[in-house]
Amino acid sequence: MTTRSTLKVAVIGAGMMGSDHIARITRRISGAEVAVIVDPDPQRAAAAAELAPDAATAATFEEALTRRDLDAVLIASPGQFHEAVLLPALERKLAILCEKPLTPDVATALKITEAEQKLERPHIQVGFMRRFDAGYVQLKSMIETRKLGDLLLIHARHRNASSHLVNTEAMLIQDALVHELDVLPWLAGDRIASIDIKKPRPSRLAPEGLRDPQVAILEFTSGTMAIVEIFINARFGYQVKTEAVFEEGTAEIGETDGLRIRHEGQTSRFEPPTFKERFAAAYDTQIQKWVDASKDGRIDGPSAWDGYLAVAAAEAGVEAQRSGRPVEVVYEATPSFYDLEQPAPPRVPV
Ligand code: ISE
């Protein structure tokens, strides 16, 4: 826990997301400052440092850790590099915001949760920002209050204009679908019991070797199902929509609500180009809550255990993608250390 009024944050990774968070912390978040930007590419680090003129730069986290004034670390490098930062950050008992996925596989995700359990309380919050989006929060409350009866089915669409760093079949699940693997169980208050992946006719505009789009069929412990279209070269813009089907009606979030223009006999509407614009408010809320909670020695959002649950479902998803068959998702029992975790509802025979 820090007693300072300003949380001093090291940001790891000065790519698209890291730079976005650096600008956010510097301009929109109160109570925190970027103390150091870590990136192995000096040019990228220097470009990001223009967004936070008081920040230093470092080539490695090790170098950044020679500073004794750090309170927190925001990890925005790709998932395969997270473990190397998470372990020393836990040792230094820093507050941690780790972008998704926690790690690429179950073995390393569990290793991280084991290391965290040596501390007195959770230090890691995972960057599943959709949990802070106003639409998702409203939909969750609709599901919980059972206003329209029981939740039966979810139709979700996750479309990116183009896959920048996601260029393998496995990454489609581990890097993109992983959001649904976290947010849909959170919405439904349920656990994913099995996952199947179907591959429709592929777009010729997707990179070589990547069948895009794909469809994930998730079956929850309660019997509720979700059908998720994941299409990361959809070209027209960035779109994430979720429709919940209840016994007495439906509820939908994520419809484009940008500027509507009527001109020369046509109507057009602004579509967000990327997740940065679509989820800007959710990212702001997520980071502000994390900063505030970190000062109190808490996390305020998805824990490392939630990160592990999503990685476990993703690993099953990759297996389903390879085998062409539904795969059961098997989870370790939740340690009492992560007591924010909701118990899974009983399975309803279908
Ligand atoms: C990216 O890393 C994200 O987190 C986005 O939310 C997701 O839509 C995209 O597919 C990922 O590559």
SS3 for the chain, per residue?
CCCCCCEEEEEECCCHHHHHHHHHHHHCCCCEEEEEEECCCHHHHHHHHCCCCCCEEECCHHHHCCCCCCCEEEECCCHHHHHHHHHHHHHCCCEEEEECCCCCCHHHHHHHHHHHCCCCCCCEEEECHHHHCHHHHHHHHHHHHCCCCCEEEEEEEEECCCCCCCCCHHHHHHHHHHHHHHHHHHHHCCCEEEEEEECCCCCCCCCCCCCCCEEEEEEECCCCEEEEEEECCCCCCCEEEEEEEECCEEEEECCCCCCEEEECCEEEECCCCCHHHHCHHHHHHHHHHHHHHHHCCCCCCCEHHHHHHHHHHHHHHHHHHHHCCCEECCCCCCCHHHCCCCCCCCCCCC
Q: What percent of the chain has pLDDT over 70?
A: 96
C-beta 176 within 6 A of ligand 1: yes
pLDDT at residue 283, rounded to an integer: 98
Residue nearest to atom 3 of ligand 1 (CA): 176
| Residues in the chain where the model's pLDDT stays below 70 | 1-4, 340-350
C-beta 275 within 6 A of ligand 1: yes
C-beta 49 within 6 A of ligand 1: no
Q: What is the pTM of this model?
A: 0.94
- Tens of pLDDT along 131-178? 999 999 999 999 999 999 999 999 999 999 998 778 899 999 999 999
> Which residue of 77, 175, 278, 279 sits with most ligand 1 atoms within 8 Å of its CB, as the best mutation to test the pocket?
175
C-beta 179 within 6 A of ligand 1: yes
pLDDT at residue 343, rounded to an integer: 43
- Tens of pLDDT along 52-85? 999 999 999 999 999 999 999 999 999 999 999 9
Mean pLDDT estimate for the chain: 94
pLDDT at residue 2, rounded to an integer: 53
Cα–ligand 1 centroid distance for 175 (angstroms): 6
